[in-house]
Protein backbone atom coordinates (compact mmCIF):
# COMPACT_ATOMS: atom_id res chain seq x y z
CA UNK A 1 0.00 0.00 0.00
CA UNK A 2 2.75 2.60 0.33
CA UNK A 3 3.58 5.69 2.34
CA UNK A 4 1.05 7.92 0.63
CA UNK A 5 -1.90 5.73 1.62
CA UNK A 6 -0.71 5.55 5.25
CA UNK A 7 -0.39 9.34 5.48
CA UNK A 8 -3.80 9.83 3.88
CA UNK A 9 -5.41 7.48 6.40
CA UNK A 10 -3.76 9.26 9.32
CA UNK A 11 -5.00 12.65 8.13
CA UNK A 12 -8.50 11.25 7.71
CA UNK A 13 -8.55 9.86 11.25
CA UNK A 14 -7.38 13.15 12.71
CA UNK A 15 -10.10 15.04 10.82
CA UNK A 16 -13.10 13.58 12.65
CA UNK A 17 -16.05 15.79 11.70
CA UNK A 18 -19.13 13.69 12.33
CA UNK A 19 -22.08 15.13 14.21
CA UNK A 20 -22.81 12.89 17.21
CA UNK A 21 -26.34 14.23 17.66
CA UNK A 22 -27.34 13.35 14.10
CA UNK A 23 -25.90 9.85 14.38
CA UNK A 24 -27.49 9.05 17.74
CA UNK A 25 -30.90 10.65 17.11
CA UNK A 26 -32.45 9.01 14.06
CA UNK A 27 -35.00 10.79 11.88
CA UNK A 28 -37.40 8.14 10.58
CA UNK A 29 -38.80 10.50 7.93
CA UNK A 30 -35.65 9.66 5.90
CA UNK A 31 -35.14 6.23 4.28
CA UNK A 32 -33.27 3.97 6.68
CA UNK A 33 -29.90 2.97 5.27
CA UNK A 34 -27.69 0.17 6.61
CA UNK A 35 -23.96 0.33 5.95
CA UNK A 36 -22.09 -2.94 6.56
CA UNK A 37 -18.31 -3.12 6.91
CA UNK A 38 -16.77 -6.60 6.73
CA UNK A 39 -13.29 -6.64 8.26
CA UNK A 40 -10.49 -9.01 9.15
CA UNK A 41 -7.09 -7.91 10.47
CA UNK A 42 -7.59 -4.50 8.87
CA UNK A 43 -6.60 -2.25 11.78
CA UNK A 44 -4.38 -0.19 9.48
CA UNK A 45 -7.41 0.94 7.45
CA UNK A 46 -10.52 0.24 9.53
CA UNK A 47 -10.75 3.54 11.42
CA UNK A 48 -10.66 5.48 8.16
CA UNK A 49 -13.68 3.52 6.90
CA UNK A 50 -15.62 3.91 10.15
CA UNK A 51 -15.07 7.67 10.12
CA UNK A 52 -16.06 7.91 6.47
CA UNK A 53 -19.42 6.32 7.30
CA UNK A 54 -19.99 8.43 10.42
CA UNK A 55 -18.97 11.58 8.53
CA UNK A 56 -21.95 11.08 6.23
CA UNK A 57 -24.04 12.74 8.97
CA UNK A 58 -27.06 11.03 7.42
CA UNK A 59 -30.12 11.33 9.72
CA UNK A 60 -31.26 7.71 9.52
CA UNK A 61 -28.15 5.60 9.14
CA UNK A 62 -27.50 2.21 10.74
CA UNK A 63 -23.87 1.13 10.86
CA UNK A 64 -22.82 -2.50 11.28
CA UNK A 65 -19.27 -3.88 11.51
CA UNK A 66 -18.64 -7.60 11.01
CA UNK A 67 -15.17 -8.61 12.14
CA UNK A 68 -13.75 -12.07 11.43
CA UNK A 69 -12.13 -12.47 14.86
CA UNK A 70 -9.15 -10.29 14.04
CA UNK A 71 -5.89 -10.76 15.91
CA UNK A 72 -4.63 -7.19 15.38
CA UNK A 73 -6.02 -3.95 16.88
CA UNK A 74 -9.28 -4.10 14.92
CA UNK A 75 -11.55 -4.93 17.85
CA UNK A 76 -10.05 -2.10 19.94
CA UNK A 77 -10.81 0.32 17.10
CA UNK A 78 -14.36 -0.99 16.78
CA UNK A 79 -14.93 -0.59 20.53
CA UNK A 80 -13.72 3.00 20.30
CA UNK A 81 -16.82 3.77 18.18
CA UNK A 82 -19.15 1.29 19.86
CA UNK A 83 -21.78 3.90 20.83
CA UNK A 84 -22.27 4.87 17.17
CA UNK A 85 -22.64 1.30 15.88
CA UNK A 86 -26.01 -0.41 15.68
CA UNK A 87 -24.33 -3.83 15.78
CA UNK A 88 -20.83 -5.25 15.72
CA UNK A 89 -19.53 -8.76 16.12
CA UNK A 90 -16.10 -10.38 16.11
CA UNK A 91 -16.20 -14.09 15.43
CA UNK A 92 -14.77 -16.61 12.95
CA UNK A 93 -16.32 -16.62 9.49
CA UNK A 94 -15.88 -18.32 6.13
CA UNK A 95 -14.58 -15.26 4.36
CA UNK A 96 -15.76 -11.81 3.31
CA UNK A 97 -19.04 -12.95 1.74
CA UNK A 98 -20.01 -14.95 4.81
CA UNK A 99 -19.37 -11.76 6.83
CA UNK A 100 -21.53 -9.79 4.38
CA UNK A 101 -24.35 -12.34 4.72
CA UNK A 102 -24.15 -11.89 8.51
CA UNK A 103 -24.49 -8.16 7.91
CA UNK A 104 -27.59 -8.74 5.79
CA UNK A 105 -29.22 -10.71 8.61
CA UNK A 106 -28.51 -7.93 11.11
CA UNK A 107 -29.45 -5.02 8.84
CA UNK A 108 -32.88 -3.43 9.33
CA UNK A 109 -32.54 -0.62 6.78
CA UNK A 110 -34.57 -0.15 3.62
CA UNK A 111 -31.31 -0.08 1.65
CA UNK A 112 -27.93 -1.72 2.29
CA UNK A 113 -24.40 -0.82 1.20
CA UNK A 114 -21.20 -2.78 1.84
CA UNK A 115 -18.14 -0.63 2.54
CA UNK A 116 -15.04 -2.77 3.03
CA UNK A 117 -12.42 -1.90 5.63
CA UNK A 118 -10.07 0.58 3.99
CA UNK A 119 -12.62 1.91 1.51
CA UNK A 120 -14.64 5.10 1.97
CA UNK A 121 -17.48 7.14 0.57
CA UNK A 122 -16.31 9.62 -2.04
CA UNK A 123 -17.40 12.60 0.04
CA UNK A 124 -19.48 13.43 3.12
CA UNK A 125 -22.65 13.91 1.04
CA UNK A 126 -22.52 10.64 -0.89
CA UNK A 127 -25.39 8.93 0.95
CA UNK A 128 -27.62 12.02 1.15
CA UNK A 129 -27.22 12.76 -2.57
CA UNK A 130 -28.39 9.25 -3.48
CA UNK A 131 -31.65 9.40 -1.53
CA UNK A 132 -33.47 11.13 -4.39
CA UNK A 133 -33.01 7.95 -6.43
CA UNK A 134 -34.43 5.70 -3.71
CA UNK A 135 -37.96 6.80 -4.60
CA UNK A 136 -37.70 5.11 -7.98
CA UNK A 137 -38.87 1.56 -8.72
CA UNK A 138 -35.31 0.25 -8.86
CA UNK A 139 -34.23 -2.26 -6.22
CA UNK A 140 -30.56 -1.55 -6.91
CA UNK A 141 -28.81 1.79 -7.40
CA UNK A 142 -25.20 1.86 -8.57
CA UNK A 143 -22.60 4.37 -9.66
CA UNK A 144 -18.92 5.07 -10.25
CA UNK A 145 -15.86 4.45 -8.08
CA UNK A 146 -12.58 6.28 -7.57
CA UNK A 147 -9.55 3.97 -7.28
CA UNK A 148 -6.51 5.09 -5.25
CA UNK A 149 -2.99 3.92 -6.09
CA UNK A 150 0.15 4.91 -4.20
CA UNK A 151 0.65 8.17 -6.08
CA UNK A 152 -2.35 8.73 -8.34
CA UNK A 153 -6.06 8.04 -8.71
CA UNK A 154 -8.44 7.16 -11.51
CA UNK A 155 -12.20 6.94 -11.91
CA UNK A 156 -13.76 3.65 -12.95
CA UNK A 157 -17.10 4.38 -14.55
CA UNK A 158 -20.02 2.01 -14.02
CA UNK A 159 -21.39 0.20 -17.07
CA UNK A 160 -24.83 -0.97 -18.11
CA UNK A 161 -26.00 -4.26 -16.62
CA UNK A 162 -26.65 -5.43 -20.19
CA UNK A 163 -22.85 -5.90 -20.33
CA UNK A 164 -22.70 -8.16 -17.28
CA UNK A 165 -21.79 -11.15 -19.42
CA UNK A 166 -18.47 -9.37 -20.05
CA UNK A 167 -17.77 -8.86 -16.33
CA UNK A 168 -18.82 -6.74 -13.35
CA UNK A 169 -20.55 -3.48 -14.25
CA UNK A 170 -19.62 -1.83 -10.95
CA UNK A 171 -17.96 -2.47 -7.59
CA UNK A 172 -20.10 -3.36 -4.57
CA UNK A 173 -18.86 -0.34 -2.58
CA UNK A 174 -20.78 1.81 -5.08
CA UNK A 175 -23.99 -0.24 -4.89
CA UNK A 176 -27.07 0.30 -2.74
CA UNK A 177 -29.58 -2.55 -2.81
CA UNK A 178 -32.93 -3.02 -1.09
CA UNK A 179 -32.71 -5.16 2.03
CA UNK A 180 -35.68 -7.31 1.04
CA UNK A 181 -33.90 -8.37 -2.16
CA UNK A 182 -30.61 -9.04 -0.37
CA UNK A 183 -32.38 -11.12 2.27
CA UNK A 184 -33.88 -13.21 -0.51
CA UNK A 185 -30.77 -13.65 -2.68
CA UNK A 186 -27.76 -13.44 -0.31
CA UNK A 187 -24.15 -13.97 -1.43
CA UNK A 188 -23.26 -17.40 -2.79
CA UNK A 189 -20.42 -18.77 -0.63
CA UNK A 190 -19.36 -21.10 -3.43
CA UNK A 191 -17.35 -18.14 -4.71
CA UNK A 192 -14.50 -16.73 -2.62
CA UNK A 193 -13.60 -13.72 -4.76
CA UNK A 194 -16.53 -12.90 -7.07
CA UNK A 195 -19.75 -13.61 -5.16
CA UNK A 196 -20.71 -9.94 -5.52
CA UNK A 197 -20.56 -10.31 -9.31
CA UNK A 198 -22.64 -13.49 -9.11
CA UNK A 199 -25.27 -11.65 -7.05
CA UNK A 200 -25.44 -8.86 -9.64
CA UNK A 201 -26.04 -11.46 -12.34
CA UNK A 202 -28.93 -12.96 -10.37
CA UNK A 203 -30.46 -9.51 -9.82
CA UNK A 204 -30.24 -8.69 -13.53
CA UNK A 205 -31.47 -12.08 -14.82
CA UNK A 206 -34.20 -12.14 -12.17
CA UNK A 207 -35.81 -9.18 -13.91
CA UNK A 208 -35.29 -6.73 -11.06
CA UNK A 209 -35.14 -3.03 -11.92
CA UNK A 210 -31.72 -1.43 -11.53
CA UNK A 211 -30.72 2.20 -11.90
CA UNK A 212 -27.30 3.56 -12.90
CA UNK A 213 -26.44 7.04 -11.62
CA UNK A 214 -23.59 9.17 -12.96
CA UNK A 215 -22.15 9.82 -9.51
CA UNK A 216 -18.87 8.75 -7.90
CA UNK A 217 -20.13 6.98 -4.79
CA UNK A 218 -17.07 5.38 -3.23
CA UNK A 219 -13.30 5.48 -3.15
CA UNK A 220 -11.35 2.23 -2.84
CA UNK A 221 -7.69 1.35 -2.36
CA UNK A 222 -6.00 -0.67 -5.07
CA UNK A 223 -4.23 -3.78 -3.82
CA UNK A 224 -7.05 -5.80 -2.28
CA UNK A 225 -7.67 -9.51 -2.81
CA UNK A 226 -9.33 -8.86 -6.17
CA UNK A 227 -6.13 -7.17 -7.38
CA UNK A 228 -3.65 -9.57 -5.79
CA UNK A 229 -5.51 -12.69 -6.98
CA UNK A 230 -6.51 -11.29 -10.34
CA UNK A 231 -6.24 -14.57 -12.28
CA UNK A 232 -8.32 -16.44 -9.69
CA UNK A 233 -10.93 -13.66 -9.90
CA UNK A 234 -11.07 -13.96 -13.68
CA UNK A 235 -11.58 -17.72 -13.41
CA UNK A 236 -14.52 -17.21 -11.05
CA UNK A 237 -15.93 -14.54 -13.36
CA UNK A 238 -15.67 -16.98 -16.26
CA UNK A 239 -17.49 -19.72 -14.35
CA UNK A 240 -20.24 -17.33 -13.21
CA UNK A 241 -20.72 -15.73 -16.64
CA UNK A 242 -20.80 -19.07 -18.47
CA UNK A 243 -23.41 -20.50 -16.08
CA UNK A 244 -25.62 -17.39 -16.23
CA UNK A 245 -25.30 -16.46 -19.91
CA UNK A 246 -25.31 -19.91 -21.49
CA UNK A 247 -26.06 -18.73 -25.04
CA UNK A 248 -22.76 -16.83 -25.01
CA UNK A 249 -20.75 -19.47 -23.15
CA UNK A 250 -18.20 -20.07 -25.92
CA UNK A 251 -17.63 -16.36 -26.48
CA UNK A 252 -17.29 -15.85 -22.72
CA UNK A 253 -14.81 -18.71 -22.46
CA UNK A 254 -12.63 -17.30 -25.24
CA UNK A 255 -12.84 -13.81 -23.74
CA UNK A 256 -11.73 -14.90 -20.27
CA UNK A 257 -8.98 -17.19 -21.49
CA UNK A 258 -7.62 -14.21 -23.40
CA UNK A 259 -7.87 -12.00 -20.30
CA UNK A 260 -6.09 -14.61 -18.17
CA UNK A 261 -3.27 -14.83 -20.73
CA UNK A 262 -3.02 -11.04 -20.82
CA UNK A 263 -2.90 -10.95 -17.02
CA UNK A 264 0.00 -13.41 -17.02
CA UNK A 265 1.89 -11.25 -19.51
CA UNK A 266 1.19 -8.11 -17.44
CA UNK A 267 2.47 -9.88 -14.32
CA UNK A 268 5.71 -10.79 -16.08
CA UNK A 269 6.16 -7.19 -17.20
CA UNK A 270 5.53 -5.90 -13.68
CA UNK A 271 7.96 -8.44 -12.21
CA UNK A 272 10.83 -7.55 -14.55
CA UNK A 273 10.30 -3.88 -15.41
CA UNK A 274 11.35 -1.06 -13.04
CA UNK A 275 8.43 -0.05 -10.84
CA UNK A 276 8.64 3.58 -11.92
CA UNK A 277 8.27 2.56 -15.56
CA UNK A 278 5.13 0.57 -14.74
CA UNK A 279 3.66 3.53 -12.81
CA UNK A 280 4.45 5.88 -15.69
CA UNK A 281 2.63 3.59 -18.10
CA UNK A 282 -0.42 3.34 -15.84
CA UNK A 283 -0.63 7.12 -15.40
CA UNK A 284 -0.35 7.61 -19.13
CA UNK A 285 -2.98 4.96 -19.75
CA UNK A 286 -5.50 6.64 -17.48
CA UNK A 287 -4.36 10.13 -18.52
CA UNK A 288 -3.79 11.24 -14.96
CA UNK A 289 -0.97 13.22 -13.41
CA UNK A 290 0.42 12.84 -9.94
CA UNK A 291 -1.94 13.39 -7.06
CATH number of the domain where residue 87 is located: 3.90.550.10
Q: Does the pTM exceed 0.85? A: yes
For residue 274, being part of any structural domain is answered with no
- Residue 121, classified by CB atoms within 10 Å of its CB into exposed (0-12), middle (13-18) or buried (19+), is buried
282 inside domain: no
Instruction: Show the domain range for 212.
Output: 2-223
Dihedral Cα 251, 257, 260, 264, nearest 10 deg: -140
Q: How far apart are CA 171 and CA 143, in angstroms?
A: 9
Please write the tens of the pLDDT for every residue from 43-98. Answer: 999 999 999 999 998 999 999 999 999 999 999 999 999 999 999 999 999 999 99
Indicate the pairing of strand 61-67 with strand 87-90.
Answer: parallel
The counts of H helices and E strands in the chain are 12, 9
217 in a domain, yes or no? yes
pLDDT (0 to 100) of residue 10: 60
The alpha-helical segments, DSSP class H, found in the chain are: 2-14, 20-24, 43-54, 74-80, 96-106, 126-130, 179-185, 195-205, 225-228, 230-244, 249-272, 275-286
Residue 277 lies in a domain: no
Q: Determine the pLDDT at residue 290.
A: 42
- Which residues fall within 8 angstroms of residue 102, CB to CB, at 6 or more apart? 66, 89, 93
Per-residue pLDDT for 6 more than 70? no
Which pLDDT band, with edges at 50, 70 and 90, does 291 fall under? very low
Average pLDDT over residues 17-38: 91
pLDDT, residue 93, reads: 95
Q: Residue 155: inside a domain, yes or no?
A: yes
- In a domain, residue 123? The reply is yes
Give pLDDT tens digits for 161-208.
999 999 999 999 999 999 999 999 999 999 999 999 999 999 999 999
Number of domains in the chain: 1
Instruction: Please check whether residue 228 lies inside any domain of the structure.
Output: no
Is residue 61 within a helix (H) or strand (E), and if so which, with residue range? strand 61-67
- Whether 283 is in a domain gets the answer no
CA-to-CA separations, 144 to 112, 131, 202, in angstroms, rounded = 17, 16, 21
Amino acid sequence: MGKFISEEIQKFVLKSLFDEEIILNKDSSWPKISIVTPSWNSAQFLERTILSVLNQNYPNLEYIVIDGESTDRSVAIIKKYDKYLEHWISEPDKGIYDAMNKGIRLASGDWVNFMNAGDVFYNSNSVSLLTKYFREDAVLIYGDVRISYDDFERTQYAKSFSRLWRGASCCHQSVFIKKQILAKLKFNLEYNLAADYELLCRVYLGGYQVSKVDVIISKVINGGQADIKRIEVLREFQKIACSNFKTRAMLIYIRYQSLILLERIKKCIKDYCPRQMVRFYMKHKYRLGKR
